[in-house]
Every structure is written in structure tokens, then in C-alpha cells.
Amino acid sequence: MSGNELKFLIGGNWVDPIGTGRHTLINPATEEPVCDIAMGDERDVERAVAAAKAAFPAYSTTSVKERQRLLKRLLELYNRDYELIADMMTEEMGTTSAFSRSAQGWCGRAHLETIIEVLDGYAFEERRGDILISREAVGVCALITPWNWPMNQLVVKVVPALAAGCTMVVKPSEFSPLSSIHFSGLIKEAGFPDGVYNYINGEGRVVGEALSRHPDVDMVSVTGSARAGIAVARAAADTIKRVHQELGGKSANIILDDADFEEAVSRGVHGCYGNTGQSCKAPTRMLVPAARMKEAAAIAARTADSVRIGPPTEASSDHGPVVNRQQYERIQSLIEAGIAEGATLVAGGPGRPKGLNRGYYVRPTVFADVTSDMTIAREEIFGPVLSIMAYDDENDAVRIANDTIYGLAGYIQTPDKDRARRIARQLRVGMVYINQSDWDATAPFGGYKQSGNGREHGEFGLSDFLEIKATGGWE
């Protein structure tokens, strides 16, 4: 730990909060307390926003080269402390040590590297006749991040905002605070001017709402549940500020009849369970031809049963616990709903895995014969629970895939690229992955419908932190 768990970074200094609230961080693997962190209130928001507002005029006019220099220094520090940051994420949210290094920590590094490269060629100004088109920092930003990918979701907002010339107030989740507190220290060490980056913690209904409605905040970027996104949008409405939302998902994984079922189903199960199922773009609905439901269910069950759930610090564990008791109990209730509503349980089920009597561990679960009216087909579970659904033909598969309030991601498995491309064009989602294609930090990330608005990653994320100005008569 950094020693700043009971402080906030405001105006370039670690200060005592005005708010007196405390949150006890619980290690999800042991259910033992880790530490207390400070929880602020509206008065802390006022201080942090005032610091960001005061820093904006100077920082927004710094050169691109200077901002890039600072980001390169930040990357050096991030790489220096990479192992420490990974260990913090394992302790605070239960991801395995291997996953914290290979994925959780790596995403933060990838976003930093990408934005640094984008700045080399990004056109902040262009001429069209006698008109100058300028892209300028949007202003003071409130960045509200979730617990499930602590570094990914923090860095993917902070870094493009810094690159754009914005100043900011950051409110990460109190359920994964250790890594974000340490990252805040790296920002200070990297030499960003005082007040450019401000860190506070607090409940969403208190600090998040105060940030969203504050008249001196020009933009709110939030990643979280649909409920959180709606609350932010409502609070921000009176001041007509920009609201950028990356929300939930219920992504369909369409396995076509010509796919290698053993491989496609197995990979689909592992894709669903990645990060212990706590990813918004997880392929949680597996769509298979109706005639092959039993075959798919058998493969999925074997795969799920082979997944090793255990202490995240042990090399033998494929996955650790989910983040906290609230999340564990919600997943349990949804598993019970699947059973009650008539889905066929083929693997896993309620309760902890065998041999684990403490910690928020969930059994890797598979339901077959799931229909679109069932709760487990409609709600984002955010745990290692897969729903297998039957379709009649290609058009029916597209219909089922689109039959959701969400529109974050879609997955297609087939050796026929023409079929895959045809289906991809019909999916109402922000991202499509054909044959489990790799995640790319340069590709736009975001969704349609109630999965939010705006885009993150690379030049797309940078653009969302910029306003466009047209100045006529420039010549």
C-alpha cells in the first residue's frame, strides 16, 4: 500500500479529506480487511473541481510535445512499478496473479503506449480554405471508473484526457482503490502540473452525483452499470455538459453450423469466464443451431468442469473470486433464477466450488436451453455464468443476438469469412470479434443502445475529450 489510503490528491498535494466517511476494503479471496480508505463528500468535490479549473488555462495551452513528454515519463514509472500494481489488483479484486500481469496490468501499459503514438500524428488543427479547424481540450473532466478492470478503465480515460490538454477529477471505485491510489502517485511523480489530475473517493450517489451536476465540470466520462450511467446523465442534464458512457453488455457469441464445435464452444466458455466473468463485453450468450444444443451443452459442461477456481495467488488457479459479497450474492440469485425459470443446468450451480468455504468464489456455471424471456438471458450477470441458446437459422441467430437492450459486442465463429462479414454488418453492437480475434488498444471501444455512447481507445478516445472550433477568415 502507498500510505495515502486516507488522503486525496488535490491541487498537487496529498491532503486530508473534509468528508469523514470510511470504506473498509475486503480481500475477496479471504474475506479479511485490507485497509480503510477515505470517502469524501460534496466539499471534497468542490476543492477538487476548483483545483482542476484553476489548472486548466495553463495546461490546455501546453504543447503537444510537452504533454507527450509527460506521458512518456508516466509510462516509464508505470513499467517500473508494474509488478507492484499487478499485486495490488490481485489483493483488491481477486484476479489471479498471472492474469493481473498478463491482462489487467498490460491493458494500462497498452493504452499509455497507444496514446503516446497517436500524439505523433494527430491533427489538432487543419485548414479548409480560409477556415481553421481546431480541436481543443473540452475542459474540466470528471472521470468515474469501475472496479472490474482497475488499470484499464482508469488509464483509458485519464491518458487521453491528459493528452488532449484537459484537467480532471478522478473518482475510481472504492472496491479496487489500491492500484488507483498508486497510479495517482505516479501522475504526481511524473511531473504533471499541480491541479491537472485530482483524485478523490466516495460513494457514487454522493461524490459521483456532485461531480456530474457541478457547473464547472465540462464533461463526465463514466464506466459502470446502466443504473450508474442513467444517474450520471440525469445529474448532468441541467448543465448540458458532455456525458460519455461505457456501460453494460449481454454479448452474443454466434457459433455457426460449419464451425469446429469442440474448439468454438470451449473457447466461448473460456471467453465468458475471463476475469471471472466480470467484463462488460464477455460473450455470455452462446447461440448454437437448435439441432446441436445437446452437443454444445456437453462440450461446455466439460470445459466448465475443467476450470480451476482457487486462491488468486496460487499458480494452479485459473480464476479467483468475484470482487465482493454483494456481487457474489447477486450472481447466486441469478443462478437460482435460471434454475427456477426452467433453464437446464449442465455445469456448476449455486454455492462455492468444492473445497472452498470462504471467499467470494463462484462455481463456473453453464445453462443450456435458455430462451430470450429468461432473466439470465436478459440481465448482465457479471460472473462466470454462460447461457446457451438455440437458433433455427442464420436470420434467427441475428434476431436473438439483437434482442437485448445492450449493444456492446458480438462474436461470430465460422471458417467462412463471407458469412461472418454478412452477419457482422447486421449486429447492432459497437464491436464484433470474428473467430475470437484479439483485443486491440487502437480499435474503438464502445457500444450501441443502453451500452452507452462515445468511444474509448486510441485516437477515438482522444477525440472524445476535444471540442471542435471553426475559425473563418483565418487567411
Is 383:362 a contact under the CB 8 Å cutoff? yes
Do strands 219-223 and 197-199 pair parallel, antiparallel, or not at all (unpaired)? unpaired
Measured CA distances, 389 to 35, 318, 414 (Å): 43, 26, 17
Rg (CA), the chain: 23
In the residue annotation, 35 being an active-site residue is answered as no
- Phi and psi at 185, nearest 5°, equal -65, -35
Do strands 167-171 and 197-199 pair parallel, antiparallel, or not at all (unpaired)? parallel
In the residue annotation, 272 being an active-site residue is answered as no
Q: In sequence order, what DSSP letters do the residues of 447-472 get, joined into one string?
A: -EETTEES-BSHHHHHHTTEEEEEES
Closest CA relative to residue 379, chosen from 387, 388, 369: 387
Which residue is catalytic, options 91, 174, 209, 246? 246
Measured CA distances, 405 to 165, 272, 448, 450 (Å): 35, 19, 9, 6
Which residue is catalytic, options 5, 91, 280, 459? 280
Using the 8-state DSSP alphabet, how is residue 275 labeled?
A: G
CA distance 220 to 242: 6
Helices 394-402 + 417-424 axis angle, to 10: 40
Do strands 13-15 and 21-27 pair parallel, antiparallel, or not at all (unpaired)? unpaired
Catalytic residue set: 246, 280
